[in-house]
Homo-oligomer: A and B are copies of this chain.
């Protein structure tokens, strides 16, 4: 029974997790089938692919809400595939600038085609107004994330 006033179905972490899990699972099956990518690998590829320039591992983690060890391993895996190359920062040698190789950008381009198609499926399923509302809400959450400081997942 709902203990004094609390409604689980209105509790944001619970609701968001449900929704995120639902939409993630089916798409994960696609890129896994296509390229044997894990989720952290896809997210890292996507972060780099969508960036105009190079990114550091920390930036990838902040952008995709992943723990730094996940990022580290995903970067190593993508490097093994020759989809990504690292370069040292001249001024600060702790930093690594990460960039996709040509092969990496090719794979990313292929996967974005899948992603676009998937997004269209979701739009059909969820409906334009729902999607619009969700987008506005997620904008607000993203502003909140920035406001709350740079938070990586499970710090």
Contact = CB atoms under 8 A, between A and B. Distances in A.
Interface string A7-25: 1111111111111111111
A64 B7 CA distance: 14
A119 interface: yes
Contacts of A2: 50
A103 interface: no
A141 B151 contact: no
Contacts of A129: 136, 140
Given A12-B23, A23-B16, A7 B144 contact: no
A126 B140 contact: yes
Interface in A31-56: 43, 46-47, 49-52
A5 B119 CA distance: 12
A151 B54 CA distance: 38
A115 interface: yes
A100 B47 CA distance: 43
